[in-house]
Structure 1
Amino acid sequence: MKKISRKSFLKIAAAAAMGSVTAGALAACNSASSSAAASSSASSAGSLAAGATYIPGTYEATAAGINGDVKVTMTFSDTAITDVVLDVSGETASIGGAAAEDLKNALMEAQGAEIDVVSGATITSEGVIKAAQKCINQAKGIANVEVIQLPTGDENDWLGTEPDIDEEAITETWDTDILIVGAGNGGMCAAAYAAQNGLNFRIIEQNSVVQDTRHWYGAIDTSAAKAAGAEPMDRAKLLSEISRYASGKCDQRVVKTWINESAAMHDFVSGILEGEYGWSCEFTSGAEAAWPAENAEHNTDYLYPVQEHNYMASETASGMQRNQAFQDYIEKRGYSIDFNTALAKLEKDENGRITGVIAQSTSDDHFIRINASKGVLLACGGYPGNPYMMEQLDPLGTSVTTACSYSPADKGYGIRAAVWAGANLDKESAPMLFDRGIVPPGQDAGYVESANAFGGKAFPGQIRQYNPGTQPFLKVNRNGERFANESCPYNDIVYAAAHQPGRVYAQIHDANWEEDVKRFHTIGCSAQTRNGGEAYVLPKMEEAEELGCFFKADTLEELADKLGFTGEAKENFLATVERYNELYDAQNDEDFGKPAYRLSAIKTAPFYGCWLGASLLTTEQGIAINDKCQALDTNNQPMEGLYITGDMSGSFFANNYPCLMAGVAMGRTMTFAIKAIKQMGGLE
């Protein structure tokens, strides 16, 4: 194991002055122009011509984007940036790719890298800005010296080895009572609660902005529920159902922490968002949140709805998200977020107590020791953006996934740091999969090679989530055969597809789809298709059609051809549709037992079809915790000074996420964030 030391900085800087550095752990950027320019880029500022700002030439550099590296190529005269070329081909076309022109124009206008991120493409923007600054440094004759933040693991070892950071490399020390790692949903809720109670804390975030908000959260018997006249929840049944969904592989005391304390969490959130920002809560329960009673006849009434809450910004909030409101809230109280500061490793004393962390600046790569006398809360997210962890920890979920809607910053670094420190990782995966990963005909599920993506792999789907894919229409495999009851939780059909060719399936419906989805009455986020109607669904169909993933035809034979069915598979497909229409006419699915109200005729042209797999939102396999949100060691004993919340916390889910218990994961995240702060702050 090689130490990263201050001496290493000096040695690499000296080497960079003589030429490029391409060692695995440390790198400098090379010029993309002539050998003379390349030589100039590595020389000192003294080689600049008198009165010149830059060494003329063309320079290129890379930095991490949303799916992999983005590349910036910049051309300089002696006094100006004259051209900018961005390569964001590895980014999601509709997000990072769409921002490329705006970023290029901003760099040219600013004549530097001090530009704003493009809304909705923050991570791509940050990568472009960082790579542009590297190019500028080269053109000024300044060596770019980088140290990789953490070992990335590999295809054989997702964990890797904990970095051994020399004391000489730690150039800064911060002291605080409480340290929160991660400015996402859990971290920002924790920070807002700590700020409201006047606690001494710091919060660090590896990116330059707070992370995206998951607006919907589940909470039990809240003030919003009482105001809406909702019946009190059967808490014993809810506890039993969550445990049963996890096959008993959870800690019911941890689940009870959410059940019993989520109402107080909601009161805290509503006190800020309604009281200070004038937002209103959209509360969902009762018939809108429940499967229709007909499901009881088919033993599917175990799908237990919860009371879901959603805050959308008021007009006066200018579209601010909850995490942004929490940021504004803490800043008004004199606190701030230490952005561009990434977790490198946890530190502990001779008794094993976690005393703080060593972090690394993602701006200039120097190391910082952060001492936290009362504890560390890790809220760093799961590992959906890390193919090494996905393939090794969740081979089944990986094999059926065709698209993703996760945060690419969630690469499991918090989980790895906790395991390095001796924490116990849940032994079973629990991915959050939605049956919405639309892909073209012939595309298998699972990773495909992607040179620009982290780990060299990415999921092939270009649309994050095709929401109508959740509807219980007829679904067939590549042989043209029906293979499962389509009236099921989101992830059940994609797991069923694990036993089908290519691990994908086609969804088929006719022109009466809107009438069908109203009758289907799906719940959770799939209700957007039912409630939004044509105005919501048609743009999604058109987007998918443009990408060659969605098809419309005047006859079933034509649809079969467009979906790629040939020979016997085409004959099977047409026979399957005919059989499905017979089941609809009889209002009795004697083949797979789907409730009659969720059958649909496929008789009225035009006919529609697409191929689907899973869309991965996040992972819920995390570090084992107790009911106080303390991390547990490999003997399931509390680790003093270490608390966990969010997608990197365990002891709650197993097998998979209970998709139709809407908002449970986010409700748990925010409830546990507050619980951890109460524990560290001595508030209970």
Structure 2
Amino acid sequence: MNKISRKGFLKIAAAAAMSGVTAGALAACNAASSSTAASSGAAGSYTPGTYTGTAEGISSTVKVTMTFSDSAVTDVVVDTSGETASYGAAAAEELKNQLLNAGSDEIDGVSGSTITSDAVKKAAKSCFAQAKGEATVTSVQLPTGDETDWLGEEPDIDEAAITETVDTDIVIVGAGNGGMFAAAYAAAKGLNFRVIEQNGNVQDTRHWVGAVDGFGAQEQGIKMDRAKLLSEVSRYASGKCDQRVVKTWINESAEMIEFVRSIMEDKYGVKMIYTYGDEAKWPAENAEHNTDYMYPEIEYTYDRSSGAARNELLLQYIQELGYDVDFKTSLAKLEKNSDGRITGIIAQSTEDDHFIRYNANKGVLLACGGFPGNPYMMEQLDPLGTSVTTACSYSPSDKGYGIRAAMWAGANLDKEAAPMLFDRGVVAPGVDGGYVDSDTAFGGKAFPGTIRQYNPGTQPFLKVNRNGERFANESSPYNDIVYAAAHQPGRVYAQICDANILEDAKRFHTIGCSAQTRNAGEAYVQGKMDEAIAAGALFKCDTLEELADKLGFTGEAKDTFLATVDRYNELYDKQNDEDFGKPAYRLSAIRTAPFYGCWLGASLLTTEQGIAINEKGQALDNDNKPMPGLYITGDMSGSFFANNYPCLMAGVAMGRTLTFAMKAVKQMAGLE
């Protein structure tokens, strides 16, 4: 592969996240020049010939072929045939004429086809650079990958393109939950470090943190059965985790949550809150049905009515100690020496495209998030989770770029998918699980639901498939019902309840974030329901027959649906679920109007299929040996989860993230 010059290399991952489109492969070829002149420049500006550039559009690779004389663009061919027919594909002729008339890549584009227009501009920019002798690229695949190769190839960046160098001890990539916590700990220890973030601000705070035997447990006299917890995490992962990695969280999360408190509460006066006792576990009735999933590691959060967000406070904390974040700076690739040690990174400014070398004397911590916002990776790495998802609440900038960079450097990606799915993806009748085409989404695909999470969907009400049949025990962890729906028509299901929804929810006593339905009060529940009704995804009816019609049941399916409701009422009266074994206290009558019904699938929050790590947070190579100088935390780290997220262990993922953020800094700085 030829090297990429500064002008020839287009913006990489961060620019993609900022603009919603990424550059694709660039290709150059020489051919005979055309004889038709359309736009001109100074004589000798170009090397005569025909050049081709490509870039990723909405749903395809857009190709622009331009022919040059020594002073003019003489012919342009724009191929957008793979784009959405009524938008991007239809814009080809207009974009061609704009390029011919402008004689540069600075064109207006076509209204309504912004992503395709941007891709054409990027591809044209490559053609002009090649014709001017500025680009020496044959084929470089940048962040999107494509439908058959999500990984692509590591960019080879010309030394002349690197115009800035930063020397430090520790480089932290990502200013999200893991990155900012690592930065705060490093700042508290007075270490020499730099943080980069592809976006212009710190990323969203995930407020809830799971910790074992932390200050809350000590205050309440709770002592965790650590062996039982280790066994339960491993069981959730079907044994596909590294139990030594899990033990790091179990054994060191108390120190982690104490450091959180020292900043949030002690320094900034934001009260820490935690759940315990009956609020933190399923009622004892579940044990009779072998569904005692929850063990009370304590979930910590803080008083959010103060307006505080942990990541914002951590930024303030490091700034007060003389540090900051290099925003709008994106990871391009990792660097390693001849011994295989990771020595730093090459990053790129998303403002002016210049490249920056960050030398890291003691190590690099990647905290770049998962890949829920990348349909190329989702479809190839998690086809099951993708197929049952109808909505999303993920960060759109989480496209797996950190995972790609680590793998280019030789890191080992977990082989088992582990999506964080919530049973809250409410959609209109007739909508299937899985992606739909989108003219505005990255990769041209999006999930169809317009509501990020419909919290009442987690409640264990009656759920039926499109045939009107009940198909599973609804009293389960969040993702169980959506995986059960993978075997049902359309991979979706309807939830049915009556006017006693709030009273039933209080009796159900679900835990974790689903407890909002019972704890936040009538106004919260009514607000969620009104939002879904306005979106055409929830129906409020005076009779069950009307509800069946609104939900789209007809003929035999409608008869089956009504019979299923009758049977469910019968089971409620018996206080015995003879069909699927749901605990009696989680059965509910469906007799009091108004009746409510909606269709649901999964709502995808994030992915946790990540780079394999050891108990010290070091990245592992494909032989599962530590990669010197490289550490991973957060959703892009592996070895902990498989299959799914153990959602009833509230906060375990964020607890893992923050614990390993601290661990990595300790390791790199030689603090333990």
Q: Distance in 1 between matches of 2:244 and 2:96?
A: 65
Q: Is the 8 A contact 2:95 2:110 kept in 1?
A: no
Q: Aligned residue for 2:280?
A: 289
Pairing 1:241–2:232 present: yes
Partner of residue 184, structure 1: 176
Counterpart of 1:515 in structure 2 is 503
* Residue 174 (structure 1) aligned to one of 163, 166, 169: 166
Q: Of residues 547, 560, 564 in structure 1, which corresponds to 2:552?
A: 564
The share of aligned pairs that are identical, in percent, is 74
Paired residue for 2:631, among 643, 646, 649?
Answer: 643
Q: What is the aligned counterpart of 1:220 among 188, 207, 212?
A: 212
Give the structure 2 partner of residue 269 of structure 1: 260
Shift in CA distance, 70/321, structure 1 to aligned 2, threshold 3 Å:
farther
8 A Cα contact 2:141 2:153, kept in partner: no
TM-score, structure 2 as length reference = 0.83
Question: Where do 5+ consecutive residues of structure 2 fail to align?
Answer: 11-25, 28-38, 57-62, 65-77, 79-90, 122-134
- Per the alignment, in what secondary structure is the counterpart of residue 170 of structure 2? strand
Deviation (angstroms), 1:9: 6.6
Task: Report the equivalent of 2:6.
Answer: 6
Q: 1:300 aligns with which of 288, 291, 294?
A: 291
Matches within 5 A, 1:410-425: 410-425=398-413
Shift of 1:59: 3.7
Cα distance per residue 1:421-448 (max 9 Å; x no partner): 1111111010000000000000000001
Counterpart for residue 13 of structure 2: none
Counterpart-to-counterpart distance in 2, 1:287 and 1:36: 66
The Cα of 1:149 is off from its aligned counterpart by 9.3
Note closer, same or farther for the CA distance 1:15–1:237 as it changes in structure 2 (3 Å cut).
farther
Q: 1:221 is paired with a residue of what secondary structure?
A: coil
Do the aligned residues in 1 keep the contact of 2:423 with 2:601 (CA within 8 Å)?
A: yes
**What is the identity, as a one-letter code, of the residue corresponding to 2:406?**
A
Secondary structure at the aligned position of 2:529 is classed as helix
Quick check: 1:63–1:70 contact (8 Å CA) kept in 2? no
Instruction: Quote how far apart the aligned CAs of 1:150 are.
Output: 3.0
Give 4+ residue runs of structure 1 displaced > 6 Å after superposition: 9-12, 14-19, 26-38, 61-64
Conserved? CA contact 1:225–1:283, under 8 Å = no
Secondary structure of 1:275 counterpart:
helix
Q: Using the alignment, how far apart are the partners of 1:339 and 1:395 within structure 2?
A: 34
Does residue 358 of the first structure (1) align with residue 388 of the second (2)? no
CA distance in 1, matches of 2:211, 2:583: 30
User: How far apart are the structure 1 equivalents of 2:116 and 2:525?
Assistant: 32
Structure 1: how far apart are the matches of 2:489 and 2:105?
Answer: 57
* 1:670 maps to amino acid: L
Count, aligned residues:
594
- Report the Cα distance in structure 2 between the residues aligned to 1:152 and 1:43, rounded to whole angstroms: 22
Shift of 1:580: 0.2
Distance in 2 between residues matched to 1:34 and 1:458, nearest whole Å? 29
Root-mean-square deviation over aligned CA pairs: 3.1
Distance 1:445 1:3 in 2: 42
- Where does residue 129 of structure 2 map in the other structure? none
Q: Once the 2 structures are TM-superposed, how far is the Cα of residue 451 of structure 1 from its aligned partner? A: 2.1
User: 1:616: Cα distance to partner?
Assistant: 0.3
Report the 3-state secondary structure (helix = DSSP H, G, I; strand = E; otherwise coil) of the residue aligned with 2:266.
Answer: coil
Report the Cα distance in structure 2 between the residues aligned to 1:151 and 1:490, rounded to whole angstroms.
32
What is the CA distance between 1:311 and its match in structure 2?
1.7
Contact kept in structure 1, 2:365 and 2:664, CA below 8 Å? yes
Instruction: Write the distance in 2 (CA, Å) between the matches of 1:320 and 1:233.
Output: 30
Change (3 A) 1:41 1:538: farther
- Describe the SS at the equivalent of 2:322: coil
Conserved in 2, the CA contact under 8 Å of 1:5 and 1:166?
yes
CA spacing shift, 1:2–1:677, aligned 2, 3 Å: same
Structural mapping, 1:416-565, within 5 Å: 416-565=404-553
Q: Is the CA contact (8 Å cut-off) linking 1:32 and 1:38 kept in structure 2?
A: no
Counterparts in 2 of 1:150-169, with a 5 A limit? 150-169=142-161
Deviation at 1:16, TM superposition (A): 10
**Equivalent residue, structure 2, for 1:210:** 202
- Asked whether the equivalents of residues 162 and 356 of structure 2 are also in contact (C-alpha less than 8 Å), the reply is yes
Q: Is the 8 A contact 1:288 1:523 kept in 2?
A: yes
Choose the corresponding residue for 1:320, options 308, 324, 332. Answer: 308
Residue type at the aligned position of 1:666: M
* Deviation (angstroms), 1:221: 1.0
Residues 89-115 of structure 1, C-alpha deviations (whole Å, 9 max, x = no match): xxxxxxxxxxxxxxxxxxxxxxxxxxx
Q: Secondary structure at the match of 1:541?
A: helix
Deviations 1:385-406 (A, max 9, x none): 1111111111100000000000
Report whether the alignment pairs 1:375 with 2:360: no
Q: SS of the residue aligned with 1:611? A: strand
- Deviation, 1:186, is 0.0
Secondary structure at the aligned position of 1:6 is classed as coil
Deviations 1:330-355 (A, max 9, x none): 01111110011111111100000000
Q: Is the 8 A contact 2:368 2:401 kept in 1?
A: yes
| Aligned-partner Cα distance in 1 for 2:569–2:292 | 26
User: TM-score, length-normalised on structure 1?
Assistant: 0.82
1:613 is the counterpart of 2:643: no
Distance 2:624 2:549 in 1: 56
Deviation at 1:660, TM superposition (A): 0.7
Distance 1:655 1:478 in 2: 26
Q: Residue 41 of structure 2 contacts residue 103 of structure 2 at CA under 8 Å; is this kept in 1?
A: no
Superposed displacement of residue 6, structure 1: 3.3
Closer, same or farther: CA 314–43 of 1 in aligned 2, 3 Å? closer
Distance 1:204 1:443 in 2: 40
State the one-letter code of the partner of 1:23. Answer: G
Question: Could you tell me how far apart the structure 2 residues matched to 1:414 and 1:40 are?
Answer: 38
Which residue among 327, 352, 358 is the counterpart of 1:339?
327
1:24 is the counterpart of 2:54: yes
Please give the alpha-carbon distance, in whole angstroms, between the structure 2 residues aligned to 1:659 and 1:261.
21
* Cα deviation 1:68-104 (Å, max 9, x = unaligned): 95999xxxxxxxxxxxxxxxxxxxxxxxxxxxxxxxx
What secondary structure does 1:176 align onto? Answer: strand
Contact 2:216 2:298 in 1 (8 A): no
SS in structure 1 opposite 2:567? helix
Structure 2 CA distance for aligned equivalents of residues 456 and 37 of structure 1: 24
Distance 2:383 2:333 in 1: 27
Rounded to whole Å, the distance in 2 between the matches of 1:15 and 1:620 is 52
Tell me the SS of whatever aligns to 2:591.
Answer: coil
> In structure 1, the residue corresponding to 2:540 is in which secondary structure?
strand
Q: For structure 1, which runs of at least 5 residues remain unmatched after alignment?
A: 45-57, 73-130, 132-144
Larger displacement relative to structure 2 (244-253 or 569-578): 244-253
Deviation for aligned residue 1:409: 0.4
C-alpha separation in 1, matches of 2:662 and 2:40 = 49
The 2-side partners of 1:362 and 1:462 are apart by 30
Is the counterpart of residue 667 in structure 1 residue 655 in structure 2? yes
Q: How far has the Cα of 1:682 moved from its partner?
A: 1.2
Equivalent pair of 1:402/1:447 in contact (CA under 8 Å): yes
Cα deviation code 1:457-490 (max 9, x no counterpart): 1100000000000000000000000000000000
The 3 A distance-change label for structure 1 pair 424 and 191 is: same
Task: Choose the corresponding residue for 1:251, options 242, 261, 265.
Answer: 242
Q: Which residue of 2 aligns with 1:389?
A: 377
Structure 2 distance, partners of 1:6, 1:71, is 23
Residues 577-597 of structure 1: CA distance to partner in whole angstroms, max 9, x if unpaired? Answer: 000000000000000000000
* Secondary structure of the structure 2 residue equivalent to 1:372: strand
CA distance in 1 between partners of 2:347 and 2:217 (Å): 42
